[in-house]
Structure 1
């Protein structure tokens, strides 16, 4: 399945500065593997050493947080939009 992945500014060094890149895969895990094939190093910033989504990274398939879906097994139908969003912390 062909999807579009929105890349946060902090990860654009891996995509040659591109804010959005195409990727292939029927699940989020497959899409991340395809991103890694074309943009080496990006998966290490999204996944931890155990292959799980890093806790400070949020990943959305369309408007749905994959943590509340099937995680990395969340389906990515053709034309899906995926957003990688680093968590923001702070306060007063």
Structure 2
């Protein structure tokens, strides 16, 4: 099953500039795993070495934060949209 993955500007160099990439999987983890084969190197920006999401990367499925769902085990279905949103920090 294929879902759309929205790629933020800072990560588009891994997708040859594409802002949306189709990837397959039954849950978020599988979709992001599939994305690695289409966007070589992107996994270094998304995951820690232990396979956990980097804490500065937020993932949404249809505008729902996966941290409040089932994280990487959050199921997806045809037509769903996953958004990768890098956290932005700053201050005065």
TM-score range with shorter-chain normalisation?
A: over 0.9
**1:17-56 alignment, distance < 5 Å:** 17-56=17-56
**1:1-92 alignment, distance < 5 Å:** 1-92=1-92
Q: Distance in 2 between matches of 1:21 and 1:90?
A: 29
Residue ranges of structure 2 left out of the alignment (5+ in a row): none
Secondary structure (helix, strand or coil) at the match of 1:53 reads coil
Once the 2 structures are TM-superposed, how far is the Cα of residue 37 of structure 1 from its aligned partner? 1.0
Structure 1, residues 54-88: CA drift from partner, whole Å, max 9, x if none? Answer: 00000000111011110000011111000000001
Q: Distance in 1 between matches of 2:72 and 2:22?
A: 18
Once the 2 structures are TM-superposed, how far is the Cα of residue 39 of structure 1 from its aligned partner? 1.2
Structure 1, residues 38-65: CA drift from partner, whole Å, max 9, x if none? Answer: 1111112111101011000000001110
Residue ranges of structure 1 left out of the alignment (5+ in a row): none
Structure 1 moving runs of 4+ over 6 Å: none
